[in-house]
Structure 1
């Protein structure tokens, strides 16, 4: 990996105050509103409380917002001539991808660290293993959405694609059981959406797969582990295939 290019990318991102706001501050505010100050946040679950599941969901949302934006910008940069500039350097395509993936992983740590620290001091509680495992799933799984941003960036071929991808994430978060618990037919639909498996896996160390709900009735049996795993794997393959297909289509046009 090219350390110089990595440093340049991190410096550039550090100057983008607007991006950092949506990546870290906004999800943190959402956690406070929907988790920290709500009385239901104290309800105990298998290995933590409801506030912790809200914290996990908001950290995951911040992480995928970051990686989606980075993936989208990487696609736009290459299509607008930055790829030709890099072609004049010793850096290979593999090296370029390695730098972007590394930057995505580092940036995804921003909302996770901020929101987890905030959660720890505002009532989110859980087993030590639940804290560690959920954070690991969020950071590693967020890379999937760098592929999502890359695919969308190549489809729209403009800087507006990054905004489009981020806006689409909001819709997917509502449909994916991220912002508030779904039930019935909406929950069944949610299991097929991209964010569902990712967030369900991150919450699993706290919930043991038992579905969240707003009422006090029987939540039903625990969800089998294969459901969120298959969801995340399938969508990773779909996003990767779209990204590769669009790269090849772009080369064919040149």
Structure 2
């Protein structure tokens, strides 16, 4: 059986297209944030590593859009299952793995669209890196590593089985972004705190192809610390999913 159900995949895509929340927060807001903090900032043309600050902010906003798409759409899928949709699926030939694959595929596609729109805005407004491959590698890292926030969304969806779960998951991503050095280059104690937040390692890694860990304030991050942040928070999010599964089973 296919991992993705084509008919359901099309329905899910159309459903999200009709959802103003998805269009505004997943596709529109990352571009608006890039224009505000990157393209029009007075330091946009300044160099950081092998790119300029506009590129630095651009890839960060692509990561923010991906995290938002993954968290909101995966939380919605988990909430549907926890509310009893799984029992309905049991009456059809569709397997739960196909359902999950379809939902994840839709989230991944919207993540690709979010990254593509931000990168297009960057290409048109002066975001620059020394080599074209840095754009491609940053984009791939953004989509692949961004799936960790799908776990965050699933955990929230299982714990809070309501229509507000998707909003809660994505609002939390905005806080993660602000405190994780994704929107504005931080320094001092705020940067020290940011190192321990869920978004920090993710955005640092997607910037890595262009910056090699360099920060706007002149400091740098070692790769091992970036990877440790990602691994640690992936484990935390996976644990959250586990707790949500146990709790949803108790409710039944």
Which of 147, 152, 156 pairs up with 2:156? Answer: 152
Secondary structure of the corresponding residue to residue 103 of structure 1: helix
Q: Residue 189 of structure 2 aligns with which residue?
A: 185
- Contact 1:72/1:161 (<8 A) preserved: yes
Paired with 1:197 and 1:146, the residues of 2 have a C-alpha distance of 16
Q: Residue 22 of structure 1 aligns with which residue?
A: 25
Paired with 1:29 and 1:148, the residues of 2 have a C-alpha distance of 24
Q: 1:82-111 CA deviation, whole Å, 9 max, x = no partner?
A: 222111112222222211221111110111
Matched, 1:117 2:120: yes
Matched, 1:88 2:86: no
Paired with 1:139 and 1:26, the residues of 2 have a C-alpha distance of 17
Which of 32, 39, 47 pairs up with 2:35? Answer: 32
- Contact 1:27/1:111 (<8 A) preserved: yes
Shift of 1:132: 0.7
Could you state the TM-score of these two structures normalised by the residue count of structure 2?
Answer: 0.93
- Contact 2:68/2:173 (<8 A) preserved: yes
Paired with 2:171 and 2:21, the residues of 1 have a C-alpha distance of 15
Moved runs in structure 1, 4+ residues, more than 3 A? none
Could you state the TM-score of these two structures normalised by the residue count of structure 1?
Answer: 0.93
- Contact 2:38/2:57 (<8 A) preserved: yes
Paired with 1:85 and 1:152, the residues of 2 have a C-alpha distance of 22
Paired with 1:26 and 1:253, the residues of 2 have a C-alpha distance of 36
Shift of 1:249: 2.4
- Contact 1:47/1:130 (<8 A) preserved: no
Q: Residue 202 of structure 1 aligns with which residue?
A: 206
Shift of 1:184: 2.3
Where do residues 21-60 of structure 1 align in structure 2 (5 Å cutoff)? 21-60=24-63
Secondary structure of the corresponding residue to residue 39 of structure 1: coil
Matched, 1:164 2:203: no
Q: Residue 247 of structure 2 aligns with which residue?
A: 249
Q: 1:115-153 CA deviation, whole Å, 9 max, x = no partner?
A: 101100100011212101111111112211111011112
CA RMSD of aligned residues (A): 1.4
Q: Residue 108 of structure 1 aligns with which residue?
A: 111
- Contact 2:77/2:100 (<8 A) preserved: no
Paired with 1:183 and 1:110, the residues of 2 have a C-alpha distance of 31
Relative distance call for 1:177 and 1:41 in structure 2 (3 A) is same
